[in-house]
C-alpha cells in the first residue's frame, strides 16, 4: 500500500463527498473514520462544542494550530461570515497537502489559508505578514507539549482581546498538563472543561478546554 492513511481518506472524500458542500465533506470524513480507518479529527462531541463556540462568537479572524487533514478547519470555516477567515498551521508537509485538497473539495479555499510551517514561527509574523490585528478564536490541536509555548507567544504578540476564545483539544488524551495548569492558573482567562468522548471511540473519554480571554488588551 504505497498510500498513507491521509491519502486514503482524501481519496474516499473525493469519491463519496458532494463537491463544494462542507457538511457533506465532514459527514463523509466521519463515515470514513467510523467504517474504514480512524483519524485524529476533532469530530463528534468535540466538533459539536466547536460549532457552538463559532456560532456564538461569530469570529472574524481565527487561528488553528495543527491542521492535520483539515477536518476542523472545514468545521470552523463552514460557519464563518463572508468576510471572516481562518489561518490554519500545519508543520507536516504531507498533512498540509492533503488539507489543502480537503479545503478545496469543501469549496472553502477563500476562507481558509493553510500554512505549512511550525506554529512557533508563524505566530510572530501574524501581524506583519498575515495582516492580523487580533485573534477572535484560537484552536489548539497540534503537538500537545507546544500548547503552552504557543499560547504564551500569542499573549506576547498581544493578539488576544477581551472575549477572544482559546479552545484546546486533547487536554486528557494525549493530555496537555502544563497548558491546563497555566491557563487555569491565569487571571487573564475564564476556563471551562468539557468531558467528551475521544474521536470515533465510544468507550474512551477525552477532554477539551474553552478559555475566554478577559485580560488587558
Ligand X SMILES: Nc1ncnc2c1ncn2CCCCCNC(=O)c1cc(-c2ccc(F)cc2)cc(O)c1O
The residues assigned a catalytic role are: 141, 144, 169-170, 199
Give the C-alpha separation, 49 to 61, whole Å: 18
9, 65, 84, 98: which one binds ligand X (CB under 6 A): 65
Minimum distance of ligand X from residue 141's CB (angstroms): 5
Give the C-alpha separation, 105 to 179, whole Å: 34
Which of the stretches 6-14, 78-86, 89-97, 159-167 binds ligand X when contact is defined by CB under 6 A?
A: 89-97
Which residues, listed in sequence order, are joined to residue 61 by a DSSP beta bridge? 85
Does residue 143 belong to the site contacting ligand X (CB under 6 A)?
Answer: yes
90, 101, 136, 209: which one binds ligand X (CB under 6 A): 90
- Please state whether 91 falls in left (phi above 0), alpha (psi between -120 and 50) or beta: alpha
| Nearest to 53, CA basis, from 152, 183, 187, 166 | 166
22, 47, 66, 207: which one binds ligand X (CB under 6 A): 66
By CB under 6 A, what part of segment 153-172 binds ligand X? 169-170
Peptide bond just before 29 cis, omega within 30 deg: no
Minimum distance of Mg ion from residue 46's CB (angstroms): 8
Amino acid at each position: 500500500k504505497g498510500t498513507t492513511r491521509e491519502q486514503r481518506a482524501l481519496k474516499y472524500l473525493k469519491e463519496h463527498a458532494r463537491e463544494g458542500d462542507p457538511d457533506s465533506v465532514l459527514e463523509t470524513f466521519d463515515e470514513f473514520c467510523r467504517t474504514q480507518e480512524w483519524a485524529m479529527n476533532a469530530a463528534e462531541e468535540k466538533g459539536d462544542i466547536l460549532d457552538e463556540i463559532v456560532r456564538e462568537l461569530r469570529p472574524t479572524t481565527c487561528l488553528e494550530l495543527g491542521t492535520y487533514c483539515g477536518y476542523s478547519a472545514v468545521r470552523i470555516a463552514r460557519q464563518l461570515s463572508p468576510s471572516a477567515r481562518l489561518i490554519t498551521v500545519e508543520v507536516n508537509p504531507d498533512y498540509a497537502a492533503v488539507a489543502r485538497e480537503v479545503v478545496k473539495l469543501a469549496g472553502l479555499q477563500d476562507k481558509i489559508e493553510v500554512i505549512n510551517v511550525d506554529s512557533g514561527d508563524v505566530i510572530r509574523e501574524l501581524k506583519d505578514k498575515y495582516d492580523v490585528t487580533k485573534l477572535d478564536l484560537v484552536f489548539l490541536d497540534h503537538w500537545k507539549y507546544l500548547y503552552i509555548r504557543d499560547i504564551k507567544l500569542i499573549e506576547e504578540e498581544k493578539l488576544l482581546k477581551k472575549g477572544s476564545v482559546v479552545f484546546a483539544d486533547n487536554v486528557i488524551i494525549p493530555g496537555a498538563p502544563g497548558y491546563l495548569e497555566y491557563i487555569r492558573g491565569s487571571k487573564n482567562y475564564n476556563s471551562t472543561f468539557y468531558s467528551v468522548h475521544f474521536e470515533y471511540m465510544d468507550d474512551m473519554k477525552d477532554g477539551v478546554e474553552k478559555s475566554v480571554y478577559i485580560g488587558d488588551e
